Every structure is written in C-alpha cells, then in structure tokens.
C-alpha cells in the first residue's frame, strides 16, 4: 500500500494539463496540374488542451487535442482554346480535430524541443468553388510535427512547431483532382498555460531530482 501511495504521489507531481491557442501559416506541398498551378501560405488558427507526463526531470510525453484550421491559397489558371487567359487566387480551408502526441525534452531553464506524430480527423464544413471541402478531401490525415518552445516557472509559455503531412489531403475520387497529390505543410505559433506542479517541475529540472 505504501508503495502504491508513493507511486501515486510521484505521478501527481509529474503531471500537468493546460490550454493553448495561436495562429497557423499553412500551405500544400505536392504536384499541381494545368488548372491548379501553385499554392501559397494562408493564415489560420488553432486552440485546444494538452497534457504533460514527465518521466524524470527532463523527458515528457505530451498528448494534445486541438481544433486547427489549415489549407492553402490556391492559384487557379483559366484557359480558352488551350491558351491561358488568367490566374485567380482563392482560399481553400480545411478544418481538423487533431491529436498530436509529442515527445518533449526540457532543458534546465525552461526551453524545450519536441517531435511526434499527429492524427487528424477532417471536420470541414466550408465550400470551395461551389463544392464541399469534405467532398474534395480525405476524411483523415496523418502527419509529423517538430518544434521548440519555452515554459516559464509559472506555467506560461510559447511554442513554435512545424507540421508536415505524410498522407494525402486530396480525395482523388473527384474528377477535378485526379492528377493532384497534396500534403499539408505549415507552422503553428502558440501561447499556452500549463496548470499544476509548475513549481515542482521547475525545481526538479534544476536539481535533477523529481519533486525536490
């Protein structure tokens, strides 16, 4: 019983949860075609919750649950008699409910690096060129993220992360997208606030002993 209580105390001292939110800059990577000639960055946003499970003084597993708006500005080329007559730009927005699971290494002083996979469910309800975004895109997306950040002794912090899609965004069953293969690519800049055990974890990072 004493061993279980001690284990629970150590677990409690090394657990955090918090809230986060910020801005995205996203675009598509991949091949275009004669109609969708190029892609450029567009602004979006994200917000959600996260947890930190610290395993010792410096290493943590950090799952998150986020709403995130991504996509790209798509430059479309119109033609007449096979001759290009102009280019128009429009915003293609894709909304996701995302579950990143980051492996995080915290240095003494509060700076950290992180990397890990991200699984996202497509919850888009917008339209693009009179077509539903959900009909043009896959229902889920898998990617990988890596970033840097800083968490203060009171739990407030900032993080910058780059996310790269591994699976395709576009649904090739739609005729207009048959020869397009797109993946998400973008940056997230977030502010966050971690609750619980900030003092314990800050002290343990300096002393090398959890909860000291």
Domain containing 17: what range?
Answer: 2-207
Per DSSP, helices labelled H in the chain are: 2-13, 133-136, 198-207
CATH number at residue 150: 2.40.160.20
What does the pLDDT look like over 130-177, one tens digit per residue?
788 888 899 999 999 999 999 999 999 999 999 999 999 988 665 455
What does the pLDDT look like over 86-121, one tens digit per residue?
567 888 999 999 999 999 999 999 999 999 999 999
Neighbouring CB atoms inside 10 A of 62's CB total 20
Q: Does any domain span residue 212?
A: no
Q: Which two tokens stand for residue 38?
A: 């190029």
Phi, psi of 207 (to 5 degrees): -90, -20
Domain count for the chain: 1
Q: What does the pLDDT read at residue 82? A: 53
Q: Which residue has the higher pLDDT, 34 or 31?
A: 31
Distance CA 141, CA 128 (A): 19
């Amino acid at each position: 019983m004493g061993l279980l209580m001690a284990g629970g105390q150590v677990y409690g001292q090394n657990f955090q949860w918090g809230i986060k939110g910020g801005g995205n800059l996203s675009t598509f990577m991949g091949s275009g075609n004669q109609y969708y000639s190029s892609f450029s960055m567009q602004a979006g946003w994200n917000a959600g919750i996260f947890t930190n499970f610290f395993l010792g003084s410096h290493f943590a597993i950090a799952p998150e649950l986020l709403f995130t708006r991504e996509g790209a500005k798509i430059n479309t080329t119109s033609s007449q008699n096979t001759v290009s007559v102009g280019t128009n730009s429009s915003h293609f927005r894709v909304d996701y409910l995302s579950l990143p699971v980051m492996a995080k290494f915290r240095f003494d002083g509060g700076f950290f690096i992180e990397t890990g996979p991200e699984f996202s469910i497509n919850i888009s309800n917008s339209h693009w060129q009179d077509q539903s975004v959900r009909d043009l895109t896959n229902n889920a997306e898998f990617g990988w993220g890596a970033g840097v950040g800083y968490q203060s002794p009171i739990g407030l912090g900032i993080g910058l992360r780059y996310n790269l899609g591994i699976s395709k965004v576009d649904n090739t069953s739609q005729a207009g997208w048959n020869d397009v293969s797109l993946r998400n690519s973008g940056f997230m800049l977030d502010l966050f606030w971690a609750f619980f055990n900030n003092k314990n974890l800050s002290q343990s990072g300096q002393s090398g002993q959890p909860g000291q």
